[in-house]
A and B are shown apart, each in its own frame.
Chain A
Amino acid sequence: MATSSVSKGCFVFKPNFKKRKISVPIEDYFNKGKNDSEDSKLRFETYQLIWQQMKSETEKSHSGFQKNSRDWGCQIKLREIPTAALVLGVNVTDHDLTFRSLTEVLQNNVTPYVVSLQAKDCPDMKHFLQKLASQLMDCNVDVQSKEKEGVQVTQKKIHYSMDSLSTWYMNVTQKTDPKIPRKKRTPSQWQSPPVVLILKDMESFTTKVLQDFIIISSQHLHEFPLILIFGIATSPIVVHRLLPHAVSSLLCIELFQSLSCKEHLTTVLDKLLLTTQFPFKLSEKVLQVLTNIFLYHDFSIQNFIKGLQLSLLEHFYSQPLSVLCCNLPEAKRRINFLSDNQCENIRRLPSFRRYVEKQASEKQVALLTNERFLKEETQSLLENLHVYHTNYFLVLRCLHQFTSSLPKYPLGRQIRELYCTCLEKNILDSEEYASALQLLRMLAKDELMAMLQKCFKVFKSSSEKHFGNTAKRIEEFLAQFQSLDAEAKEEEEDTSESQSKGLQKTDLYHLQKSLLEMKELRRTSKRQTKFEVLREQLVSFIDSLVREYLLLPETQPLHEVLYFSAAHTLRQHLNAAPRIALHTALNNPYYYLKNEALRSEEGCIPNVAPDICIAYKLHLECSRLINLVDWSEAFATVVTAAEKMDANSVTSEERNEIIHARFIRAVSELELLGFIKPTKQKTDHVARLTWGGC
C-alpha cells in the first residue's frame, strides 16, 4: 500500500489477525542486529534484571523525603485551609514521579480523595471545578462500586459549583462513614477523610483562578474539608507574589523542601555506581557526559537515569563479554559455559593481552591455548576485579571524607567529582591531590579528629574483612589524637612561659630580634611536637591507602567487561546537534559522501556537489533578500561548468530546462529546511532566515 496521497495524511496498517498473534519477543531484536553475538539472550536478561534493580533503587530514593509530610495536616483552624508548599526545584520533569508517589502515600494513609490538577487543564474557574469534580468522582468510583457510572456521565454535563461539590461530598462521606471504622483507617481527628488537592505547577496557574478558588473554598471549608498542596519550582516567595495578603491569610501554609536536584544526583550515584551491588560501571568520559548534561542542560534526574539506561543497553548490546557483567557467583558459573568464541573474545581484550604479556612464558602459552586454564584464570581475575572495586569505593569514600571540607576544594566538594578525577587519571600524579595533601598537613586537630571519626564509620559499615586492619589503624590514630590532648596542654604551658619570658621591656631592635628568634625556634621545634608527627603519619597513611587501592580501572585486566566507555554514542543519541549536522552536510558533502571528487578545501565546495549544497553555498553570499533570477543564473553557471566535464549530449535548450528544474528543486528543499522563505517585499525575491555561515 502506498503511503502518499493527495487527500490523506494518515495511513493505518493492520496486519492480518492471525499474524498479529505471533508477537516477536523483544529479545529477538537484541540479537538479530548482530549475527556473531554470543549469549545475547542471557545478556539481555541480565540487562533487564540490572535495570529493574536500578530502577527500584532510584524510586526508593524519591520517596524518602515525603514521609515527613504524612503526619502533617492535622491542625485546622476555622477559616484556614491547611496548605503544604512543596519546593521542588527547577527540574520540572522529575516532579511527576514525586507527585505520583506522594499521591500513593496519601491515598494509602490519609484519604482516598486525592486530586491533582495541572495549570494547563484549568484556564478558568469553570474548568477548574469541572476537572476537580470529575477527578473526585473518579476517586470515589474506585472506592465504591462502579454501578454509578451511568449517573456519572450525566453529571459531567452539569455545571459544577462548590455547593454541588460539598453536597456530593456529604453524600459520599455519609455513605462511606460506616465503612471506615471497619477498615481501620489510620486514626485522625477528621471525622471524615479530607479532600487533598494537589496543584502540580503552582506558578503557572492564573492568579485569578487561584484566588477565587481559595476564597470560595474557604467559605465551604466546614462542609468540604480541603487540603491544598502546591508544587513550587522556584521559591516559596512565589506564594505571596501570586496571592494577595487577603487570600494568603486564608491559608495555613507549611513549607516542605525537597532534596535539591544535586543532592538527588549524589544519592543516585551513590546507590547505583559507587557500590559493588551493581557490577556495571561507567568510564570517566561517560560519567562526564552524563553529569554535564545534567548540570548544564536540565537538572533532570529522569534524564540522567535515561542516560544511564541507554549506556547500560549499549554496553550489553555492543560488548559480547558483558554476559559476565553480573554478580560474582553468577559470573563464575557463566564462565564455565563460555563458548570457544567467547574465549577468543576474552583473549582479544586489550587489558587481558597486557596481562598475559606480563606472565611467565609457560603461563602465557597455557592462557592462549588451554580453554580450561583460561576460564579458571578469568574467574580469579573477575574475583580480583570485584575485590578491587570493594576496596576502591571504600578508600574513595574515605578520601572524600578527608578532602571534601578542605579550603577551596582541590578535589571537589562532591564525591562524584572525586570519582571522576580518580577515573580520569592516576590521582597520585595530579596536582590537586598534592595540594590536598598539603592542606591536610595544615589541618587542626579537631578537624582531623572529626574526619577520622567519619572515616572510621565508613570502614566499620563495610563488612569486608581485610579492611579490619585499616579500621584498627584509624581507631589507633583516634586514640592517639585524644591522648595528645593532655600532653599538648603541658606543652602549651611551656611555650607560653617561654613567651612571657621573651617579652620583657626592650627597645625596638631587641624586640625584633627576639621575635625572629622565637619564630626560628618555633619552626624548628614545631616538627617535634607530637601532634605534628602524628599528623604526618596520618597523611602518609592515607597516601599509602590511595596508592594501594585507588588505581585506574584501565590497569585492571578484564575491566572492559564491566566498564562502558563509548561516550560519543551516548552524546550522539542524548545530546544531538541537528543544526550542526545540517550545516556540515551542506557545507562539506565529502564528510558524508566519501567521494574524492568532493574533497575540497575548507569553505569551498566543488561544482559537482549535490544541487542543494551548491544552492546553499550561493545563498550564503547574499544578504537578507535574494533575487531568484540572480540565484538561478549563478546556479546554472556552476552546474553547466560541472556538466561540461561529463560531456552531455543533450541539446542545450533541454539542458537549460533541466538545470532550471534542478534549481527549483534545490530552492524548495532549502525552503523546507527553513533557510529561506518567500517574501513579498520585492518581486521574485526570497528572504534569508539564517545568519552567518560565510
Chain B
Amino acid sequence: MMSKLESKEDKMLEVQFVGDDDVLNHILDREGGAKIKKERAQLLVNTKKIIKKPEYDLEEDDQEVLKDQNYVEVLGRHVQESLKNGSATDGGNKVYSFQNRKHPEKMAKLASELAKTPRKSVSSNLKSDPEITIDIPQCSKGHSASDKVQLKNNDKSEFLSTAPRGLRKRLIVPRSHSDSESEYSASNSEDDEGVAQEYEEDTNEVILSEQIQAQNRVLSAPVCKETPSKKMKRDKTSDLVEEYFEAHSSSKVLTSDRTLQKLKRAKLDQQTLHNLLSKVSPSFSAELKQLNQQYEQLFHKWMLQLHLGFNIVLYGLGSKRDLLERFRTTVLQDCIHVVINGFFPGISVKSILNSITEEVLNHMGTFRSVVDQLDWIINKFKEESSLELFLLIHNLDSQMLRGDKSQQIIGQLSSLRNIYLIASIDHLNAPLMWDHAKQSLYNWLWYETTTYSHYTEETSYENSLLVKQSGSLPLSSLTHVLRSLTPNARGIFRLLIKYQLDNQDNPSYIGLSFQDFYQQCREAFLVNSDLTLRAQLTEFRDHKLIRTKKGTDGVEYLLIPVDNGTLTDFLEKEEEEF
C-alpha cells in the first residue's frame, strides 16, 4: 500500500516537474538538448557583445574614462592604447563567466571546424545565426566523425580530402540532416565497447548504422526546428547563476571511456619526446623574434628600476626563462647574481638561503632555523652596504615556492635595499600568493612579457601526464644494489620480480605472500629456513627494494615498488650478463 502510494507520488512528481528540457530529452536525446542550449548560450554572449560594443568604442574615444562605478570593469578591460598589455578585447565577462554544461562531443566538433576552416573562420559567423547553427555544425560533426574513422582505420594517411569521393558523399549525405549526435547517442552511456567497436567497423557498417539513425531523423527533425525559439524565450529569464547550478547539478560528468592504452602511441619518455619535438619547425619565428626584441629593449630600464628599490615580476604566456637568461648574460655579467630555478622539484627556501650564505657570503656556519638564517643574511646585507646581489627566480609561483612561509621569506629578502629581485610567474592564479603585506614587501613592478616560447625546461622535471617515466634512475640503482649481493639473494629477488611480472595484468594483485614466497625459494634451493629469508628481506627493505604490506587476512605481502617496464628491462639485462 505504502509503496504503491509512494510510487504514485513519484509519478505525480514526475508529471509535475517535466520541463521543456525533459520533454526534449525524451524526444531527442539528452545531448541534443544540451547542445542546443549551448548554442543559445553562445548566442547570448554574442548579443551581449553587440550591446557592449558601442559603449566600448566610446571608451576608446575618451581613451580612459575612469568613473567610479565602472572602474572595476575598466580595470579588467585594461587600456587599449598600448599594444603590449594583453588586454582582453572581450573583457572580463568572458574570462570569469560561469561554465555551462558542455557537450561531450563538442571538442571533436570544434576540432573539425578548426581543421576545416582554412584561415578565416567561417564558423563564428555561423554561430551568430541560430538558424544556420543547427545545420552546419551537424554537418561538420559528420565530417569529424568520418574524419576520425578515417584516422583510425587507415593509418595510410587517407584523410578526409583524399578519401574516395563516393564514400565521403555517402558518409555525409545521410548525416547532414540527421540529428547531430547520432554517433554519440549510439554510445551514449559511454559504452566503451560501442566506441571501440565503432572504430573497428569497416565503412560499410558505418553507413549501415548511419541509415538506421537516419530513420530516427524523421522523428527528431521537426522537434529540432522548433527548439531554438523555445529556448530563446526561456533564455531571457535564466541567468548565469542558473547555468552555474545546472552545470553542477549532476555529479556525473559525461566523457567517453576511451583510454590511452588502446592507442598505439600511449606514452613517450622524455628523451623520445624531446627528439620528436626537435623535428618540429617553429612557426611565427619572425614575430616571436620581434616580440623578444621589444622586451630586450627594456633591460636597461629594468636595471634602473631595480636599483631604485623596485622589484620586477614578469608575467604572460610563454617561458620567460630564455628572456631572463639573456638579461643575465647581457646586463648582469659583472654583478653577483643567483639564478634560482623555481620549477626544479627539489628547490626550497632553505636551499636558496644556503646558497646565499655559503656561496655568496662565504659563511661556513650552520643555522638553527630558516628564520635565523634570514636574520643573519639581513644583518649582513645591512652592514655591508657595498654588497649587491641579484636574485633571478624562474617561476616564483612553482609548487615548491608558493607556500606562504617561502613567499614571506623571499619577500623579506627582496625588500632589502641591496638585494634586487627579478622573477617570473606563470600560473594562472599566481597573484593570489601575495596579500597586501607581501606585496608591499616585494614592491613589484609588473611587466608583461608574452613570449609564446615553450616551457621546455620547466616541464621537463614534472611528472607530466603523458610522459612515461623513463625509469633509468631506478634501473641503475637496482643493478648496483643487486650486484653487491650474494647470488642466492639475487635469485630471491629475481623470483619476486618474475612473480610480479606474471601478475602484472591482475588488477587486484597486492603482492606475494611471505609463505608462498618462502615455499618458492625453498623449491629453488635458495634458502633453507624462513629466518634466512627474513634476514634477506630485511636487507632488501633497507635498500628500499621491496615494500611489505599487511593484507586483510593479516598475512604479509611483498611488493617491489618499481614499475613493470623497469623490471622487465632489469631482467633482460640480467640475462644478458649471465
Q: A601-B121, A661-B273 are in contact. Are A628 and B86 (CB under 8 A)?
A: no
Is A313 engaged at the interface, CB distance under 8 Å to the other chain? yes
Would you list which residues of chain B between 510 and 555 have a CB under 8 Å from chain A?
none
- By the criterion CB–CB under 8 Å, are B317 and A664 in contact? no
Interface residues of A in 658-694 (CB under 8 A from B): 658, 660-665, 667-669, 671-675, 678, 682-686, 689-694
Query: Is the Cβ of A693 less than 8 Å from the Cβ of B427?
Result: no
B378 at the binding interface (Cβ < 8 Å): no
B557 contacts partner chain A, Cβ-Cβ < 8 Å: no
B428 on interface, CB distance cutoff 8 Å: yes
**Also in contact, A630 and B256, with CB within 8 A (given A568-B81, A593-B288):** yes
A592 to B452, Cβ gap below 8 A? yes
List, in ascending order, chain B residues with CB within 8 A of A694's CB. Answer: 38, 41-42, 45, 97, 99-100, 102
A13 an interface residue at 8 Å Cβ cutoff?
yes
Q: Write out the residue numbers on chain B whose beta carbons fall within 8 Å of the beta carbon of A584.
A: 86-89
A661–B265 alpha-carbon span in the complex (Å): 10
Give me 10 other A-B pairs in contact (C-beta within 8 A), A33-B298, A637-B114 excluded: A15-B333, A32-B300, A573-B446, A585-B452, A588-B88, A588-B89, A601-B121, A658-B280, A662-B280, A683-B259
Residues of A within 8 A of B111 (CB): 618, 633-635, 637-638
Q: Which residues of A contact B177 (CB under 8 A)?
A: none
Whether B276 pairs with A629 at a CB distance below 8 angstroms is: no
Mind listing 24 A-B residue pairs with CB under 8 Å?
Answer: A13-B336, A23-B386, A285-B64, A574-B446, A577-B86, A578-B425, A593-B288, A600-B124, A606-B120, A622-B104, A628-B260, A629-B256, A633-B148, A640-B115, A650-B279, A652-B155, A655-B157, A660-B276, A664-B467, A672-B427, A672-B462, A673-B428, A692-B98, A692-B99
Flag the segment in A144-152, A288-296, A325-333, A549-557 that touches B: A288-296
Q: Which of A575, A577, A660, A690 has its CB near the most chain B CB atoms (within 10 A)?
A: A577
Known: A568-B85, A607-B117, A623-B254. A9 touches B346 (CB 8 A): yes
If A652-B156, A660-B265 touch, whether A593 touches B428 (CB-CB below 8 Å) is no
Question: Would A667 and B78 be within 8 Å (CB), given that A317-B301, A633-B108 are in contact?
Answer: no
- In the complex the two chains form, what is the Cα distance from A658 to B277 in whole Å? 6
Return B17 CB to nearest CB of chain A, in Å: 24
Query: Which residues of the partner chain B approach A373 to less than 8 Å between Cβ atoms?
Result: none
Contact among B64, B159, B247, B283 for A610, CB-based, below 8 A: B283
Contacts of A15 in B (CB 8 A): 333-336
| B112–A637 CB distance below 8 A | yes
In contact, B151 and A572 (Cβ under 8 angstroms) = no
Q: Are B339 and A3 in contact (CB under 8 A)?
A: yes
CB-CB under 8 A for A602 and B124, given A591-B89, A692-B99: yes
Which residues of chain A have C-beta atoms less than 8 A from B203's C-beta? none
Say yes or no: is A583 at the interface (Cβ < 8 Å to chain B): yes
Interface residues as binary, B329-356 with A (CB distance below 8 Å gives 1, 0 otherwise)? 0001111111111111011000110111
Beta-carbon contacts under 8 Å, B131-154 to A: 144, 147-148, 151
**Residue with the highest number of chain A CB atoms closer than 10 Å, among B66, B351, B455:** B66
Are B303 and A29 neighbours in the complex by a CB distance under 8 Å?
yes
Which 4 residue pairs are nearest across A and B when measured between Cβ atoms? A581-B86, A641-B115, A634-B111, A576-B446
B448 within 8 A of A: yes
C-alpha gap A588/B124 in the complex (Å): 14
Is there an interface contact between A669 and B446, defined as CB atoms closer than 8 Å?
no
Q: A622-B107, A661-B273 are in contact. Are A24 and B334 (CB under 8 A)?
A: yes
The answer to whether A573 touches B445 (Cβ under 8 A) is yes
- Inter-subunit contact A665/B106 (CB<8 Å): no
Whether A296 and B71, one on each chain, are in contact in the complex, defined by CB atoms closer than 8 angstroms, is: yes
Surface stretch bound by B, among A185-193, A297-305, A392-400, A520-528 = A297-305
Q: Give the distance in Å from the alpha carbon of A585 to the alpha carbon of B386 in the complex.
A: 42
B325, CB-defined interface residue at 8 Å: yes
B265 contacts which chain A residues (CB < 8 A)? 656-657, 660
A273 near B: Cβ within 8 Å? no
Cross-chain contact of B447 among A11, A573, A575, A653 (Cβ < 8 A): A573
Q: Give Cα distance in the complex from A601 to B280, angstroms.
A: 27
A633-B109 Cα distance, complex, nearest whole Å? 11
Asked if A296 meets B72 with Cβ closer than 8 Å, knowing A574-B445, A593-B287, the reply is: yes
Q: Does A443 contact B (CB under 8 A)?
A: no
Contact among A11, A92, A579 for B437, CB-based, below 8 A: A92
Cα-based distance from A175 to B26 in the complex (angstroms): 94
Kindly list chain A residues whose C-beta atoms are within 8 Å of the C-beta of B100.
694
Q: A93-B437, A610-B283, A673-B426 are in contact. Are A621 and B107 (CB under 8 A)?
A: yes
Q: Is the CB of B276 within 8 A of A661?
A: yes
B106 x A621 contact (CB < 8 A)? yes
Asked if residues A685 and B255 are in contact (CB atoms below 8 Å), the reply is yes
A298 to B335, CA, bound (A): 35
Q: Which residues of B contact A202 (CB under 8 A)?
A: none
- Distance between A506 CB and nearest chain B CB, rounded to angstroms: 55
Is there contact, CB below 8 Å, between B304 and A29?
yes
- Cβ-neighbour of B277 out of A594, A662, A692 (below 8 A): A662
Taking the complex as formed, is B168 at the interface, i.e. its CB lies under 8 A from any CB of chain A? no
- Cβ of B227 within 8 Å of any chain A Cβ, yes or no, is no
- Residues 4-18 (chain A) with a chain B CB within 8 angstroms: 4-15
A604 is an interface residue with CB less than 8 A from chain B? yes
For window 548-578 of B, CB contacts with A under 8 Å fall at: none
- CB contacts (< 8 Å) of A582 on chain B: these are 86, 315-317, 428
- Chain B residues contacting A686 (CB-CB under 8 Å) are 465
Whole-angstrom distance from the CB of A635 to the nearest CB of chain B? 7
Residues of B within 8 A of A503 (CB): none
Closest to A614 in B: B114
- Contact-residue bracket for chain A: 35 or more
What CA separation (Å) do A20 and B360 show in the bound complex?
13
A623 near B316 with CB under 8 A, answer: no
- B336 engages A302 (CB within 8 Å): no
Asked if A33 and B297 sit within 8 Å, CB to CB, the answer is yes
Instruction: Report the bound CA distance from A26 to B420 in whole Å.
Output: 13
Please state if A9 and B115 are interface contacts (CB–CB under 8 Å).
Answer: no
- Kindly report which residue of chain A lies nearest to residue B116, judged by CB atoms: A641
B429 lies within 8 A of chain A by Cβ: yes
B75 part of interface (Cβ distance < 8 Å): yes
Checking B92, B110, B256, B268 against A580 with a beta-carbon cut-off of 8 angstroms, the contacting residue is B92
Query: Which one of B7-15, B305-313, B481-489 is at the interface?
Result: B305-313
B387-416 contacts to A, CB under 8 A, are 388, 408
Asked if A442 is at the interface of the complex by the 8 Å CB criterion, the answer is no
A642 at the interface (CB under 8 A from B): yes
- Check B466–A628 contact: CB distance below 8 A: yes
Note all chain B residues with C-beta closer than 8 A to A597.
119
Within 8 A of A (CB), among B32-73: 38, 41-42, 45, 49, 63-64, 66, 68, 71-72
Assess whether B170 is interfacial by the CB under 8 Å rule: no
Contact across chains for B147 and A623 when beta carbons are under 8 A apart:
no
Q: Which residue of A lies closest to B84 (CB)?
A: A572
Q: Is the CB of B114 within 8 A of A30?
A: no
Chain A contacts of B85 at CB under 8 A?
568, 572, 576, 581
Whether the pair B151, A10 counts as a contact (CB closer than 8 A) is no
Residues of B within 8 A of A578 (CB): 315-316, 425, 428, 430-431, 446, 448
Closest to B341 in A: A9
Question: Is A612's CB under 8 angstroms from B317's CB?
Answer: yes
| B95: interface (CB < 8 Å) | yes
The 8 A CB mask of A415-434 against B (1 = contact, 0 = none) is: 00000000000000000000
Contacting pair B107 A634 (CB below 8 A): yes
B125 within 8 A of A: yes
Query: Which A residues lie within 8 Å of B89 (CB)?
Result: 584, 588, 591, 602
Contact partner, B334, options A22, A604, A690, Cβ 8 Å:
A22
B354 CB to closest chain A CB (Å) equals: 8
Residue B258 CB within 8 A of the other chain: yes
Centre residue among B291, B336, B342, B452 by max chain A CB count within 10 A: B452
- A600 CB to nearest chain B CB (Å): 5
Asked whether B459 lies within 8 Å of A672 as measured between CB atoms, the reply is yes
Min distance, Cβ B542 to any Cβ of chain A, angstroms:
24
The CA of A595 and the CA of B256, in the complex, are separated in Å by 37
**Chain B: minimal CB distance from A201 (Å):** 9
